[in-house]
Amino acid sequence: MNLPIYLDNNATTPMDPRVLEAMIPYFTQKFGNAASRNHPFGWAAEEGVDYAREQVAKLIGANEKEIIFTSGATEANNLAIKGVFEMYKDKGNHIITCTTEHKAVLDACKHLEKLGAEITYLQVKSDGLINLQELENAITDKTILVSIMYGNNEIGVIQPIKEISAITHKHGALFFTDATQAVGKIPVDVIADGIDLMAFSAHKMYGPKGVGALYVRRKNPRVKVTAQMDGGGHERGMRSGTLNVPGIVGFGKACELCNLEMAEEAKRLSALRDKLESSLTILEESYVNGNREYRLPHVANISFKYVEGEGLMMAMKDMAVSSGSACTSASLEPSYVLKSLGLSDDLAHSSIRFGLGRFTTEEEVNFAIEQTKKAVNHLRDLSPLWEMFKEGIDLDKVEWVEH
Amino acid sequence: MAYSDKVIDHYTNPRNVGTLDKSKNNVGTGLVGAPECGDVMRLQIEVDANNVITDAKFKTFGCGSAIASSSLATEWLKGKSIDDAMAIDNMDIVEELALPPVKIHCSVLAEDAIKAAINDYRVKNGLEALVSEKSHH
Ligand SMILES: Cc1ncc(COP(=O)(O)O)c(C=O)c1O
Ligand code: FES
């Protein structure tokens, strides 16, 4: 086992060596521009892209013509939300999303608010799932888009996608989902799930960084988005720019591998995740955040009450994890996702996200369990709050001197 | 962001962790910060008849820099007179631990905790609380 161990696979995944192997020829040999239609260099590149497009489409049950390559999920989210708003503005200006979405969705919506959009931000329940009745109540005759993520990046909960799309379609709106954390980890099928637009990204599924896709449905209904960048009209006019051929080839290979291996992998990872969780929640006052039934197989988000996340991460020095604590982020605000679940600030500050992945071994998980336990105990020995809790003092009644 | 060696040292081997009997008249306790802010520091001093600090203890809920700042503060406090202790400035801590700008508030918390502990001691012993002339907020 090599230290430090990597348990932050929701932030990004290492690239699978098989993906790298598929990409290599496209840097120096098949380096052509996929849009060069009149010589073999262009044809070789185009062939690589075409094949990758099929691999990507296959993983999500789409037609290859429905895949628009982008620079990643951030761009795909922006293209979907802003592109739909612009394309369908005669139909309405109302978009529904929820408070636990990724910033790329929330900030794209904020941007549109300045341009006259009405945005409804649905609250989530304490388990992180939206309330379907609230969704239905929020829809108006001006609603053009419902944007709800598939799997959450911090707590891993999976929203009831089929039900959400059914409600959305009943009222004649389009359904977009940011499926960045779900695609390649669990079965995602755009037909069965009733998805009209979907964003996802290669670097979360053992592919390269800087490449992703927007799925745009072509039939029942035919969906269109207004391009957000002007240029050569690539990708059916929806996303101009010379294609990132090696990246796209790698993305394709990554999708193929996920398609072949994710069922087994999910079983293995959820067993490891369960082991991690059950071993760590033995510690007093530790809580798993988010719904434990409807969730991705590879992520555990746990709050260790009375210890602060960043301090804790420092003690877990041989492992890479992430924390909802404010001190780790530039904003000084603890995780808005955890706060949306109704967690108090102090519990949000005390959270650690463990993200397992394809290359995580059982030995590493065992190591993580031992290190984490030690770290929590070390920090609780140092924590005045833990001491007060042990003395039976109600911390909510203490008058704190905020600084 | 990488931590300085001194922060890591204090964090890994914190000095003077613990609790003094806060009901004693010669013990001053400072509890500053709030759980919602992600940092709470408790610093205690024990003072002898000559106004010299004979013991200091801390417990901190916070990031590594906050833990290191309070650990360092207890080291500095021991053996100091109350007046000298009152003069400890958060920037001394920043310098000693090589804290980056985003971690300055962790040192401010330590200075606040020192002053709160001293004032608690003073008030317990019939002296008025001292107000620090400088404000960080
Ligand atoms: C849910 C979700 N959406 C979008 C993104 C952004 O993806 P990308 O890094 O490909 O732009 C991420 C990754 O941080 C994510 O987790
Ligand atoms: S206590 Fe918040 S960053 Fe140090």
Render pLDDT for B37-94 as a digit per residue (tens, 0 to 9): 788 999 999 999 999 999 999 999 998 999 999 999 999 999 999 999 999 999 999 9
Amino acid making up residue B8:
I
- The model's pLDDT over A146-194, given as tens digits with 9 standing for 90+, comes to 999 999 999 999 999 999 999 999 999 999 999 999 999 999 999 999 9
Per-residue pLDDT averaged across A130-149, rounded? 98
Give the length of chain A: 403
Q: Using CA atoms, how far apart are residues B90 and B113, in angstroms rounded to an integer?
A: 11
pLDDT at A341 > cutoff 70: yes
A311 near B64, Cβ under 8 Å?
yes
Q: Using CA atoms, how far apart are residues A167 and A178, in angstroms rounded to an integer?
A: 18
Per-residue pLDDT averaged across A384-395, rounded? 92
Tell me what percent of the residues of chain B surpass a pLDDT of 70. Answer: 95
Q: Using CA atoms, how far apart are residues A351 and A7, in angstroms rounded to an integer?
A: 14
Task: For residue A403, give the nearest of B42, B59, B112 by CB distance.
Answer: B112
Q: Using CA atoms, how far apart are residues A346 and A363, in angstroms rounded to an integer?
A: 32
Per-residue pLDDT averaged across A244-266, rounded? 98
b/e map of A280-316 (b: 16 or more CB within 10 Å)?
beeeebbebbbbeeebbbbbbbbbbbbbbbbbbbbbb
DSSP string, A32-74: --TT-TTSHHHHHHHHHHHHHHHHHHHHHT--GGGEEEESSHH
- ipTM score of complex: 0.90
* Ligand 2 contact via B28 beta carbon (within 6 Å): no
Evaluate the omega torsion of the peptide bond into residue A208 and state whether it is cis, within 30 degrees of 0.
no
pLDDT at A112 > cutoff 60: yes
pLDDT at A50 > cutoff 80: yes
Question: Looking at residue A182, what DSSP letter applies?
Answer: T
Task: For residue B34, give the nearest of A326, A327, A402 by CB distance.
Answer: A402
For ligand 2, atom 3, which residue shows the shortest CA distance?
A327
**Per-residue tokens: A14:** 């290492």
* Ligand 1 contact via A153 beta carbon (within 6 Å): yes
- The model's pLDDT over A62-98, given as tens digits with 9 standing for 90+, comes to 999 999 999 999 999 999 999 999 999 999 999 999 9
Per-residue pLDDT averaged across A323-351, rounded? 79
Q: Quick one: how far is CA A111 from the chain centroid? A: 21
Interface test with A, best of B63, B72, B90, B97 (most A CBs within 10 A): B63
pLDDT at A325 > cutoff 80: no
Q: Using CA atoms, how far apart are residues B120 and A362, in angstroms rounded to an integer?
A: 51
Residue of B nearest to A331 (CA): B102
DSSP string, A256-324: HHHHHHHHHHHHHHHHHHHHHHHHHTTSTTEEE-S-SSSB-TTEEEEEETTS-HHHHHHHSTTEE-EE-
B82 near B47, Cβ under 8 Å?
yes
pLDDT at B1 > cutoff 70: no
**Is B63 a residue of the active site?**
no
pLDDT at A301 > cutoff 70: yes
pLDDT at A144 > cutoff 90: yes
Instruction: Return the higher-pLDDT residue of A68 and A1.
Output: A68
* Ligand 1 contact via A325 beta carbon (within 6 Å): no
* Ligand 1 contact via A149 beta carbon (within 6 Å): yes
Amino acid making up residue A97:
T
Task: For residue A387, give the nearest of B19, B105, B116 by CB distance.
Answer: B19
**Is A327 a residue of the active site?**
yes
Helix H segments across B22-100?
A: 64-77, 82-86, 90-97
Q: Which of A301, A319, A300, A316 is nearest to A378 (CA)?
A: A316
**Per-residue tokens: A93:** 């200006």
pLDDT at B104 > cutoff 60: yes
| pLDDT score of A329 | 52
| pLDDT score of B137 | 45
Mutation pick for ligand 2 pocket among B39, B90, B93 (CB with most ligand atoms within 8 Å): B39
Exactly one of B34, B37, B127, B130 is catalytic; name it. B37
A181 CA distance to ligand 1 centroid (A)? 8
Residue with the two structure tokens 């905020």: A402
Question: Looking at residue B127, what DSSP letter applies?
Answer: P
**Per-residue tokens: A161:** 């996608």
Per-residue pLDDT averaged across B105-113, rounded? 94
* Ligand 1 contact via A212 beta carbon (within 6 Å): yes
Q: Give burial (CB, 10 Å; 0-12/13-18/19+) of A196.
A: buried
Give the mean pLDDT of chain A.
95
Q: Using CA atoms, how far apart are residues A109 and A145, in angstroms rounded to an integer?
A: 11
Q: Using CA atoms, how far apart are residues A335 and A375, in angstroms rounded to an integer?
A: 21
For chain A, positions 298-357, list CB contacts with chain B under 8 A.
Answer: 306-311, 314-315, 325-327, 330, 334, 344-346, 349
